[in-house]
Structure 1
Amino acid sequence: MITAVRLPGRHATRSAKPGPPREPPKPPAAPRTPAWRPWLLPIVLIAVFVLLLSRLHQPSGAVLSYSAFLGKVNAGQVKVVDIDDKGAVAGKLKDGREFTTRIPTALGNTGLENQLRDKNVDINAASSNGGASWVGPLAFVLLPLFLLGALFLWTGRQAARTLSGGLSGIGRSRAKIIEAERPTTRFDDVAGYEGVKQEISEVVDFLRRPERYAVVGAQGPRGVLMVGPPGTGKTLIARAVAGEAAVPFLSVTGSAFVEMFVGVGASRVRDLFDEARKRAPSIIFIDEIDAVGSRRGGIRLGGNDEREQTLNQLLAEMDGFDQSSGIVVLAATNRPEALDPALLRPGRFDRHVTVPLPNQTERAAILAVHARDKKLAPDVDWNIIARATPGFSGADLANLLNEAAIHAVRASATVITARDLDSARDRVLLGRRETSNALLPEERQAVAVHESGHALVAALCPQADPVAKVTILPSGPALGATEQLPEAERHLYSEGYLTDLLAVRLGGRAAELVVFGEGSTGAADDLAGATQIAGRMVRDFGLSPALGPVGYATTGVAHRLGEEGPGEGLHRPYSEQTQRLIDEEVARLVREAEERAVALLRDHRPALDRLADLLTTRETIDGTVVLDVLRQQPEAGTGGGTP
């Protein structure tokens, strides 16, 4: 059992719909050599060899039967014959025609010699193993060797020609060059991000009208680094910049510079900037720049040396080009802490633009953009869906709409309804609904009690987010879920809110302790989430009286991007004694939250039993049912909160 509580972040992302294509007429492409043409010469040589070999073994002249041969001898038409020791006869008629025949060995000596002498036919003896008979086997051996040698020579020359061209192309930049007329994405296609677009628009204005800045002695930025979580639309914004500026746009990923050959990456960087200078004013966009711009130092292996050479060349190129030439470098990454400090200093990447996760208003605008080509029912309200998706990026919202469309098709519907979007949100957050995961009756009752505990504690805690839905239908790894929706977008979290959040997390386990007198394995995810929240309260937020207002955060930028640092705990900036004190404070906060949840549920035991019965019967209820159950309960002590 899990509680679907997702802390909303203050970040942003947009999606765009491309406008109508405006492709300029393309020059006719150079005719390509057909793939079969290089193999034409070997095929012709082999055909000639087969033809010659067949001709060599095929006897010349007409083939006569033995009877016809005797008839021509008796008629005096035969001039000369050659007879070998196996009975093969080759001869020539008096009119000049040649013929061949064979004497049947079964007839024995039939007096043929006397007949030939009577008709004055010249008789010659031939050996089947002598004369020119060696030519055939010799040709059969030598001709294939000759053809194979010719084929190897030809392919070797072709490979050398290709390799010479390939080696000259290995160091060429793999940038995708988009000319001024081709980009169709504009800032209007990017929902939200007004602050980001305003900052980026100065780059566009510099490329369009550099003389405005030259009058007052201002210089345009050399580089702009866009930083944000994955899926927030950094690449989309870069395409919008290219469309707005109407200048050539050279797009390349950081991994395109990395190659197995030493020095190739640096060569590609040089070629990339050479291409940009030829097309100036222009924009260079390097996506995922952390693949090539990672921090230098540490253990040096072959790959690291190659990456460092590439980074050094990139640093030199960004310092070396003339600022008045109108070249701006845009880069995007979601790991700014991994970049080399030399890359981030002024004069290289002058501006750092944060592209955060979208707020509630921006999420509604993004959903409207992604829904342009979808059929929607009248009951779809983007504001409600945006309120229900805190922390979603632009990519997450696009996936949400796609899942809703698939859910509608699965139900044989032609429009997307609010119910489809609700089911899609559950699938994204919790996983696929497990219809085959049948629970035992006692397990079903335990899940209902657990989720009822979450819902009641959330309704009783004054600063907790309202309950939207409670279900005991299994989804993914969860056997049930309690969903809460924030009433407004939060940017700061008070100590009271975090304390209530801990109590809600432990409400399911508290309900099990109140009803059954023991816990179960269903609270494993709740305990892990509560421990993580309590740990940040103690270490990061200074909300522990024992430690005081001291912050021990170790993840830095990663926390600002809504991520946990992978090395947290490996390099702690405090002693083991402090770590022991932190552990004690975390355990105290979690224990106090559980005690508070248990006290609340004991004071409202009739409501807990009633809500568990409703869940067992209906399987899914909404938040209004939880409030109705609390209102129907007789007056009782609040234990720390009021409904």
Structure 2
Amino acid sequence: MITSVRLSGRHLSRSAKPGPPREAPKPPAPSPGPSWSRWLLPIATLVLLIVVLIRTSAPQEGASLSYSEFVGKVGVGQVKTVDIDDKGAIKGTLKDGKKFTTRIPTALDNSRLEQQLQSKNVKITASRSSNGSPLGTLLVLLLPLLLIVALFMWTGRQAARTLGGGLSAIGRARAKIIETERPTTRFEDVAGYGGVKQEISEIVDFLRSPERYAVAGAKGPRGVIMVGPPGTGKTLIARAVAGEAEVPFLSVTGSAFVEMFVGVGASRVRDLFAEARKRAPSIIFIDEIDAVGSRRGGAARLGGNDEREQTLNQLLAEMDGFDQASGIVVLAATNRPEALDPALLRPGRFDRHVTVPLPNQTERAAILAVHARGKNLAPDVDWDTVARATPGFSGADLANLVNEAAINAVRAGGAVIDAQGLGDARDRLLLGRRESTNALLPEERRSVAVHESGHALTAALCEHADPVAKVTILPSGPSLGATEQLPEAERHLYSEGYLTDLLTVRLGGRAAELVVFGEGSTGAADDLAGATQLAARMVREFGLSPTLGPIGYGSGAPRYLGGESTEETLHRPYSEQTQRIVDEETARLLRQAEERAVALLRDHREALDTLAGLLATRETVDGAVVLDVLQQQQRSGGHHNTAKGKPTPSP
């Protein structure tokens, strides 16, 4: 079940408009040599090895005979000539013209062999053995050394091409320098975010007209860091700054400072700021700065990553060291502000912290309109309605939504995006792919229909719950059904009544199973997990427990990537006794919510059975059907407290 989607947020458009004419571009860098040149050294080494093997391997002359065979052939008079060297090797010729080789055993008495050769009139000659030419012998001795040297030379050249200049270029900053003629994105291409653009535009104005600030004695900011959830467009804002400032823009990621060599990160930081000084006034943009700016290890973390800490120390020193009059401003972006070192965030380094939140409803409508440019839209598409149905979507999510709707249109054989296609794309992103082959058993289909009817009816009966938009029992992804609720307006604060109703709606599906079947099922597992998490936060963070009192144990720092740190898990700021109270109060809230849901559905059992039957037949109904079912029960003499907005007493 889906009782609420993600919270609110913001985004920026990706369209670009051509900027004013710029200066002539610099000549391109000389192209590297041909690709075949890299193979010259390995081929030369291979040829050298072949030559050495050929020169050192002596060709074998004739068949090789054993000593016994040789003596036998001498005895029968088949041997014509023999040539014996000083090491006992024999080369000879038989009377039929064939050549042979053999060796005399040095441990035997060879005087009889000599007499036998003379008696058979065999021509005997003597020679001196040869181990090959001196050059070949020298090559054999030096071959291993030559191969090692060749391997080092080849590896060095490959590393030079990879690092862009060899070992001397390892410490150079890999910054992408965007000169004034290249940026095309402007602030007008960014949808929404008026406050963020105002903060950033002051930096642009300072770089363009520093004398205006000098008259008032004001100093421009050294750095601005943008924090926010992923997909909200922090990098796009930086591109817009590059387009508006008309100054050189040096872009680099935090991970580019970290290499396997010690001291490389600090060297690259120095090189980056040196390049910025040469091009001043200029802007340095460090994306994902948490990769290099994470908290340094203290006394409790001896033996930390010294290379990363040295890189961070150098970054801090550079931001303190450059003169503000030089016109260098550092922009940074991260979605993990809780991981950054406090020394990096203090005034004088990053003077301004700009939060880029998720877009609100008005901004989502503007973002959707931007991403729909160039696409064929049906007349029934209303971006305000789509924006209301997508709370918590980031700019990247909205772009994906429009693209998914376009893909659905093509899959259906058309090229026009309509409202139904956008709704299907939204369900696809939230719930997963529709499983047309995942057929439910008849009893499972009935159980899912009752479960989702319980969610829908409790949502319609609770005073503070969001209105029901759609109820379906079609399997999508891991979900067998869904009850979608759309908020009437953007919420920034959540009252205790709203949270209590939300718990009741979450447990409405399990309550319907208890009312109809007398037992629960595994279909409520996800509902129970979400309700338990919400109830625990109500007790532990929101101070909504009378037993525990007005005490909150929140995490403090925003976590845009979610999750809980290991340190907070191992070292909780409260005792085991407090944890026991938290568990008891969480269970109490859940029991009360379930009892309330069961009581509401028992009072409206007729509407529950009717809505479950409609779902089993139609598979999908909208929120108006849920209200009609409740009104039918009211007209037939059912429970009188069915209209939403009227308080329903809790049992």
Name the residue aligned to 1:459.
Answer: 460
Shift of 1:588: 2.0
Shift of 1:369: 1.6
Does residue 198 of structure 1 match 2:198? yes
Determine helix, strand or coil for the equivalent of 1:337: helix
Assess, with a 3 A threshold, how the Cα gap between structure 1 residues 105 and 43 changes in structure 2: closer, same or farther. farther
Does residue 276 of structure 1 match 2:269? no
Which amino acid in the other structure matches residue 18 of structure 1? A
Which amino acid in the other structure matches residue 513 of structure 1? L
1:357-376 to structure 2, matched below 5 A, reads 357-376=358-377
Which amino acid in the other structure matches residue 15 of structure 1? S
Shift of 1:46: 7.5
Name the residue aligned to 2:14.
Answer: 16
Assess, with a 3 A threshold, how the Cα gap between structure 1 residues 12 and 642 changes in structure 2: closer, same or farther. closer
Determine helix, strand or coil for the equivalent of 1:477: coil
- Contact map agreement 2:6 2:393 (CA 8 A) in 1: no
Cα distance in 2 for partners of 1:507, 1:53 equals 84
Which amino acid in the other structure matches residue 472 of structure 1? I
Which amino acid in the other structure matches residue 469 of structure 1? K
Assess, with a 3 A threshold, how the Cα gap between structure 1 residues 127 and 13 changes in structure 2: closer, same or farther. farther
Shift of 1:519: 1.3
Determine helix, strand or coil for the equivalent of 2:305: helix
- Contact map agreement 2:56 2:137 (CA 8 A) in 1: no
Determine helix, strand or coil for the equivalent of 2:247: coil
Which amino acid in the other structure matches residue 447 of structure 2? A
Cα distance in 2 for partners of 1:608, 1:396 equals 35
Determine helix, strand or coil for the equivalent of 2:2: strand
Which amino acid in the other structure matches residue 582 of structure 1? V
Cα distance in 2 for partners of 1:574, 1:202 equals 44
- Contact map agreement 2:460 2:468 (CA 8 A) in 1: yes
Name the residue aligned to 1:608.
Answer: 608
Which amino acid in the other structure matches residue 14 of structure 2? A
Assess, with a 3 A threshold, how the Cα gap between structure 1 residues 286 and 638 changes in structure 2: closer, same or farther. farther
Name the residue aligned to 2:529.
Answer: 528
- Contact map agreement 2:52 2:136 (CA 8 A) in 1: no
Does residue 294 of structure 1 match 2:294? yes
- Contact map agreement 2:196 2:356 (CA 8 A) in 1: yes
Assess, with a 3 A threshold, how the Cα gap between structure 1 residues 303 and 27 changes in structure 2: closer, same or farther. farther
Which amino acid in the other structure matches residue 502 of structure 1? L
Name the residue aligned to 1:574.
Answer: 574
Which amino acid in the other structure matches residue 597 of structure 1? A
- Contact map agreement 1:461 1:640 (CA 8 A) in 2: no
1:30-429 to structure 2, matched below 5 A, reads 30-37=30-37, 39-40=39-40, 156=152, 166-298=166-298, 300=301, 304-429=305-430
Name the residue aligned to 1:6.
Answer: 5
Cα distance in 1 for partners of 2:502, 2:97 equals 115
- Contact map agreement 1:183 1:239 (CA 8 A) in 2: yes
- Contact map agreement 1:554 1:572 (CA 8 A) in 2: no
Name the residue aligned to 1:636.
Answer: 638
- Contact map agreement 1:596 1:640 (CA 8 A) in 2: no
- Contact map agreement 1:408 1:416 (CA 8 A) in 2: yes
Name the residue aligned to 1:117.
Answer: none
Name the residue aligned to 2:85.
Answer: none
Assess, with a 3 A threshold, how the Cα gap between structure 1 residues 20 and 303 changes in structure 2: closer, same or farther. farther
* Alpha-carbon RMSD: 3.4
Kindly provide the CA deviation profile for residues 96-154 of structure 1, in whole angstroms up to 9, marking residues without a partner as x: xxxxxxx998699xxxxxxxxxxxxxxxxx999979x9698877776777788767656
Shift of 1:175: 1.3
Which amino acid in the other structure matches residue 200 of structure 1? I
Shift of 1:616: 0.4
Which amino acid in the other structure matches residue 8 of structure 1? L
Determine helix, strand or coil for the equivalent of 1:557: coil
Which amino acid in the other structure matches residue 396 of structure 2? A
Name the residue aligned to 1:504.
Answer: 505
- Contact map agreement 1:461 1:641 (CA 8 A) in 2: no
Cα distance in 2 for partners of 1:187, 1:276 equals 23
Assess, with a 3 A threshold, how the Cα gap between structure 1 residues 621 and 142 changes in structure 2: closer, same or farther. same
Which amino acid in the other structure matches residue 328 of structure 2? I
Determine helix, strand or coil for the equivalent of 1:3: coil
Assess, with a 3 A threshold, how the Cα gap between structure 1 residues 128 and 372 changes in structure 2: closer, same or farther. farther
Name the residue aligned to 1:111.
Answer: none
Deviating more after overlay: 39-48 vs 528-537: 39-48
Determine helix, strand or coil for the equivalent of 1:16: coil
Which amino acid in the other structure matches residue 293 of structure 1? G
- Contact map agreement 1:16 1:191 (CA 8 A) in 2: no
- Contact map agreement 2:3 2:505 (CA 8 A) in 1: no
Which amino acid in the other structure matches residue 637 of structure 1? H
Cα distance in 2 for partners of 1:518, 1:163 equals 67
- Contact map agreement 1:293 1:340 (CA 8 A) in 2: yes
Cα distance in 1 for partners of 2:262, 2:301 equals 14
- Contact map agreement 2:473 2:619 (CA 8 A) in 1: yes
Deviating more after overlay: 322-331 vs 294-303: 294-303
Assess, with a 3 A threshold, how the Cα gap between structure 1 residues 144 and 412 changes in structure 2: closer, same or farther. farther
Which amino acid in the other structure matches residue 423 of structure 2? D
Cα distance in 1 for partners of 2:515, 2:45 equals 92
Which amino acid in the other structure matches residue 297 of structure 1? G
Assess, with a 3 A threshold, how the Cα gap between structure 1 residues 639 and 411 changes in structure 2: closer, same or farther. same
Cα distance in 2 for partners of 1:421, 1:315 equals 48
- Contact map agreement 1:319 1:347 (CA 8 A) in 2: yes
Assess, with a 3 A threshold, how the Cα gap between structure 1 residues 157 and 569 changes in structure 2: closer, same or farther. closer
Name the residue aligned to 2:435.
Answer: 434
Report the TM-score when normalising by structure 1: 0.82
Cα distance in 2 for partners of 1:539, 1:478 equals 29
- Contact map agreement 2:3 2:506 (CA 8 A) in 1: no
Cα distance in 2 for partners of 1:554, 1:572 equals 10
Kindly provide the CA deviation profile for residues 146-166 of structure 1, in whole angstroms up to 9, marking residues without a partner as x: 788767656655666787952
Assess, with a 3 A threshold, how the Cα gap between structure 1 residues 604 and 296 changes in structure 2: closer, same or farther. same
- Contact map agreement 2:295 2:341 (CA 8 A) in 1: yes
Shift of 1:534: 1.7
Cα distance in 1 for partners of 2:496, 2:615 equals 32
Deviating more after overlay: 273-282 vs 13-22: 13-22
Cα distance in 2 for partners of 1:33, 1:335 equals 43
Assess, with a 3 A threshold, how the Cα gap between structure 1 residues 273 and 423 changes in structure 2: closer, same or farther. same
Deviating more after overlay: 147-156 vs 508-517: 147-156
Report the TM-score when normalising by structure 2: 0.81
Which amino acid in the other structure matches residue 347 of structure 1? G
Cα distance in 2 for partners of 1:404, 1:201 equals 35
Deviating more after overlay: 318-327 vs 41-50: 41-50
Cα distance in 2 for partners of 1:128, 1:383 equals 110
Shift of 1:295: 1.2
Kindly provide the CA deviation profile for residues 381-433 of structure 1, in whole angstroms up to 9, marking residues without a partner as x: 11111111101111111222222222222222222222121111111111111
Which amino acid in the other structure matches residue 12 of structure 1? R
Shift of 1:472: 0.5
Determine helix, strand or coil for the equivalent of 2:582: helix
Name the residue aligned to 1:495.
Answer: 496
Cα distance in 1 for partners of 2:474, 2:261 equals 55
Assess, with a 3 A threshold, how the Cα gap between structure 1 residues 147 and 463 changes in structure 2: closer, same or farther. same
Name the residue aligned to 2:597.
Answer: 597
Determine helix, strand or coil for the equivalent of 2:35: coil
Cα distance in 2 for partners of 1:584, 1:350 equals 45
Which amino acid in the other structure matches residue 11 of structure 2? T
Paired residues in the alignment total: 582
